[in-house]
Structure 1
Amino acid sequence: MAAQSTTELAKKKCQPCEGGVEPYAARDAEQQLAQLPGWRLTHDGQRIRKDWNVKNFMVGIKFFDEVARIAEADQHHPDLHLEGYRRVWIEIFTHAIGGLSENDFILAAKIDQIPVDAKK
C-alpha cells in the first residue's frame, strides 16, 4: 500500500466502515505516518496519536470544536483529551475494526489543516 501525501488525504472523505475491512499492517501505517508529522502509533499499532500544548483551556476547547466540526462532517470521530488545561491530544482509530483504516489518516490530515492560530 503506497503512502499518500497529506494533501491527497485531506481531499478525501471518510467512508463508512461497519467492519469487514482488514486494519492497516504496522509497516503500512508507519509509512503513512511518515507523511503526517507529529502523529505516532499507540496501542500496539492500533491507533494514532498527536499531542499539542495550547495557550489556555479555552484555546483547547476552540481547537476541539474545530476538530468536532471536521469529524462530524466525515462521520469519523476521534478520542479527544484535554489535561492540565493546556495539554491536548487526539487518538484516532476505526472502532469497527479495532485498528487503523484509511479514514484515520484522512481525519489526521484534516486536523493538521486547522490553522495554528486556532491552537494559540
Structure 2
Amino acid sequence: MEGEVVELYQRPGETLMDRGRINYEPVVAYFLDGRERRASVGSGHTSFNIPVGESARVRALPGGTGNVRMDSAAGMWFVPAVIGLLGLVTLALAALLWAGIDRLLRRRALGHGKSPADEL
C-alpha cells in the first residue's frame, strides 16, 4: 500500500556491517481499514532515506498492529537473509568440527587395533 513519510529518524550504524554509515528509519502514515495509521518501519537501513512528504510503499499486517515493513528487497528480506547467512556459517563450522572429531576418533580406533609386534 502507499503511504507518506511523516518523520525520518537518522541513526549512526553501530554494528560491524554498518559502522560509519547513517541508517534511516521512516515513520509512515497510511490508511488501513479506512483509518489513518502511523508506524515506524521498525528497522533502519541506509536505503530508507526517503524525504518527509514523499510517498513510500509499505506492507502492513491487517488488524492494526502497527507492524509495517518497507515494500523493498531491503525491507522484506534483509533480516531473513542475515539469519540464513548466520545459519549457513554455523552449519559450515559444525561440519568442519564434526569432520575433525571424526578423523581423530578414527585414528585412535585404528591405533588401538595394533599389536605390540607391529610397533617393533
Q: How would you bin the TM-score normalised by the shorter chain?
A: under 0.3
Higher radius of gyration, 1 or 2: 2
Higher relative contact order (CA 8 A, sep 6+): 1
Could you say which structure has the higher strand fraction?
A: 2
Give the TM-score normalised by structure 2. 0.20
